Structure 1
């Protein structure tokens, strides 16, 4: 698998246009820029003859893949979506406008801070930038050349300096920063560029503390102004928002690196979106992540190849996370109390009852967190005419969970539209079984086709667990989950994992109620490399977390099938015209 956050490749024209746009747009930032005359004068001073600019390492690195890579990837994507003409259009345009640019190399933009001011530097792969600029003279005018060989181009009211460095052209609006670029620019961006079609990396700690503090101050000012307009009745909402604001301030001040990369992987026939985050070692934010590790799971049986979908999470929880959760739950409870109190549809006794139920649920969630782990799993299995769903999770007190459901049943008793409850119907390996039934209204035809006239939900409560099974056909699956819970499985390196496979879901939906669009998607999926997979995985890294989203070839082709079906219907409606 390609390494995280490597930049991608773009067409030369797009690459150069991006570089020029970045350098020219940067001139709109509030800076003490050089005058036009100073810009064209070698060795022109900035503020004083002896002034030495303070320059950071790049705060932001952006990479765009090479033309060759993008052409291959976009050809694959447009073909998978059933729209190959778009890939062909890109290839044609790239071939027209990339003369003089090395189409095997990525394009990069580096943004260091010079005396606290962002100074973008664009890196364009070309061994002859003069030829490239010659073709752009109609838009930029002719380039001037300074004594040291630096080229100067006017873009509107802005000035861009360009220097040839081996097989690369380096562009910046500040002539002095060109001296800061490595002799081999590819050493900075080549890995990112080869791994991803587009990637961004933010090095937060290269931003001076004063600048970060100023950003936090502006956010705080905006927050205070927004809250001042809410009035006294929004006190609980303010407390909740205040906690969110404090967490945002913590992220800004304690973040180390943030990276995101997107790759249309033509070779692997998929799209991958990777993201990673790290905090400064030793900070509170770092402790939140450093103590988040995979733990043995009682619900790992949900991870199976024949699933239509599953979710699994098993991880330790840091004391800092528990502390944050406690504050969030307390503030959320205040908000719920305020909202219920403002309702004109509930009596005072009903408000008190609802508030009590919500509080007990919140207390159970918090006490489960305080045991220092989360462990949960959910599994969906489908086939033509059949659907099974089961879930289970760790709780601090399964008896309390059962008691809460029983209290809800008592409060609903006597209402005509209330579901029916049967408690303590049976036991299985120490888990007490309960049943909830609800009639499906006659107007809900599709729901009746799936569940029949009555929806039956089975609930199991153990000493430290809660289980749910949807429908009688899912009971055996729930028992299988209970069996597995007796022998927790050693951890993988995943903190959490979600997977959805579209083919079995579409086949089930088609068996319930046939549909042309679904039939088209099934047909497209039948020719794909996978079952229409969407996968999301989170893993722990030092002082942070890495997540990956994968859209499989089958999912893309199913989307393409739906697009083609929609296009055909539109043509039929318009007598063969789009």
Structure 2
């Protein structure tokens, strides 16, 4: 499943979550919940929160949090999960809270300290009188169930933890949305609000030309149509957060599952078969790298092409509005953008995206390596060569050398670009770009030392061959980047963060990893302990926010 669809599924879930205030619950157990909130057992949850606070240098608030967590959960079973089940009755959303309990009297006594009184109505049934409202509590089989009316407690699950589907075993906190349990009227309301917001946004920008407005309208309508289809075809979406105390790492997962037999489900199946030609195409000692591989179902290509068209219109508009460019250069740049855009659209229509990039800061100089699949690499070279001919003789124009060598079937070109003093600190006296083009691919390398970088990448790519891969992955080594940045842009927050993170040289990564599963996908953002420590160090170094980037 493409990443854009995954994120949109999560956004849909979030949109509906906003529509779930606790109003009224009847026949909650008989209905399938539209939303489920999972809370890990207290022992693990409090441990992970304390570890997280230590990691971000906020241990000073731990005593207060520990006090509240321990005092106001007295009597609860700290080894079992808690949760909330949200259901709909006549489109009215409501919540049933369940808490694992050992001694309800101890819990009620603790709650008296914040003005909550428990009046026993009958055996195992209480009314909670709070400063703002009354709620009802019922004990059943070692659980306390909390609802807003007594009637809502008439039928209760014997094991509510089973409804969490094991989420509490993986996450400290998680929310799962059952999109298909939402009534059509509620979905239509969400879509109508989206359309109104889109129309208002178009009208609120008087500086747009008619062409820009029309391009924005087409792109927006395509996105709305895609979101509408996703609401109809998404079975579940979830988000989960946890702190891995054993590995000192925080992570957030987002995922979605499609309705069987739908176009989204078929797209997800394609992702299971994706192979990349660029899995070995990574710089040694890279401080940043990414790869995305996607097989695009035929039914999804039109929407992707429409999105590209909208982006091209925006770029052309920016070029037209740039007063520093003369008319001839504007036309040249728009021609290049249009040609590149056409190649991107052709690539989409062929049904596969496969691209990779990485950056290195070896020896204090920036090196870049980017490569990917394209519908016609030779046409790309020809278009760039045409643009270079137009630039020849102009002040500040790069020096080009096309087709200077063919290396293992890849035609090599190079461009030398003069740099301002600030950029020379990062790249060197001048930028040397090596570009490789082939029938269905391209490579771009930035390395002042020459083309060895690109040739090494070609060697690695051809020796490894196609490999089965996940849809997306990215790594950022924050410590090395901070060390580099502080030498160029002195800043107390950066310097403090860099100093702190050096103690965590093996734990300074931000990672984004995705996983294709039958009918769906998940994506994880993980942040290592060293980065969390650096955040706390940066705040301290900046005087609690007095400085900044």
Task: Give the equivalent residue in structure 2 for 1:552.
Answer: 528
What SS does the corresponding residue of 2:227 show, helix, strand or coil?
A: helix
Tell me, in whole angstroms, the C-alpha distance in 2 between the residues paired with 1:276 and 1:100. 35
Listed one character per residue, the Cα deviations across residues 416-464 of structure 1 (whole Å, up to 9, x for unaligned) are 233332222222222222222222224x2xx222223322222121222
Quick one: distance in 1 between partners of 2:489 and 2:216?
A: 44
Partner SS, residue 26 of structure 1: coil
- Choose which of 208, 233, 236 in structure 2 pairs with 1:257: 236
- CA positional deviation for 1:81: 2.6
Q: Output aligned runs, 1:127-276, within 5 Å.
A: 127-137=102-112, 139=114, 142-147=117-122, 149-156=124-131, 158-189=133-164, 191-227=166-202, 233=210, 234-276=213-255
In 2, the alpha carbon distance for the partners of 1:472 and 1:74 equals 47
Q: Partner of 1:504 in structure 2?
A: 480
Moved more, 139-148 or 386-395: 139-148
CA contact (8 A) 1:301 1:484 kept: yes
Q: Is the 8 A contact 1:125 1:169 kept in 2?
A: yes
Please list every run of 5 or more consecutive structure 2 residues that lacks an aligned counterpart in the other structure.
1-17
Counterparts in 2 of 1:510 and 1:531: CA distance versus 1, 3 Å: farther
| Cα offsets for 1:515-536 (capped at 9, x unmatched) | 7766654554443372411111
Paired position in structure 2 for 1:440: 419
Contact 1:529 1:554 in 2 (8 A): yes
Any conservation in 1 of the 2:316–2:334 contact (CA below 8 Å)?
yes
Conserved? CA contact 2:427–2:448, under 8 Å? no
Does the alignment pair 1:313 with 2:292? Answer: yes
Partner of 1:104: 79
Give the structure 2 partner of residue 528 of structure 1: 504
Write the deviation string for residues 97-144 of structure 1: whole angstroms up to 9, x where unpaired: 322222333321110112221110111222333442344346556434
Deviation at 1:362, TM superposition (A): 1.3
Give the aligned partner of residue 372 of structure 1. 351
Would you say the 8 A contact 1:288–1:319 is kept in 2? no
Task: Tell me the secondary structure at the aligned position of residue 401 of structure 1.
Answer: helix
Q: 1:541 — aligned with what?
A: 517
Instruction: Give the TM-score of the pair, scaled to structure 2.
Output: 0.85
Give CA deviations for 1:353-384 in whole Å, capped at 9, x if unaligned.
Answer: 44332221111011112222222222223334
Q: Is the contact between residue 278 and residue 356 of structure 2 (CA under 8 Å) also seen in structure 1?
A: yes
Contact 2:359 / 2:366 at 8 angstroms: preserved in 1? yes
- Is it true that 1:412 corresponds to 2:391 in the alignment? yes
Residue 13 of structure 2 corresponds to none
Tell me, yes or no, if structure 1 residue 325 matches structure 2 residue 300. no
Unaligned runs of 5+ in 1: 1-21, 34-45, 47-51, 572-578
Give 1:262 deviation, angstroms.
Answer: 0.7
Q: Secondary structure at the match of 2:460?
A: helix
Q: 1:184 to 1:455 in 2, by over 3 A?
A: same
How many Å apart are 1:169 and its aligned residue? 0.8
- Report if aligned partners of 2:36, 2:175 keep a CA contact under 8 Å in 1: yes
Aligned residue pairs, count: 525
Kept in 1, the 8 Å contact 2:276–2:468? The answer is no
The whole-number CA distance in structure 1 between the counterparts of 2:50 and 2:428 is 46
Kept in 1: contact 2:366–2:427 (CA 8 A) = no
CA shift at 1:251, angstroms?
2.0
RMSD over aligned CA atoms reads 3.3
Go from structure 1 to structure 2 and tell me whether the alpha carbon gap of 1:486 and 1:508 turns closer, same or farther (over 3 Å shift): same
Inter-CA distance 179–408: structure 2 relative to 1 (3 Å threshold) = farther
Q: Distance in 1 between matches of 2:471 and 2:509?
A: 20
**Residue 26 (structure 1) aligned with residue 1 (structure 2):** no
Query: Structure 1 stretch 164-173 or stretch 513-522: which is displaced more?
Result: 513-522
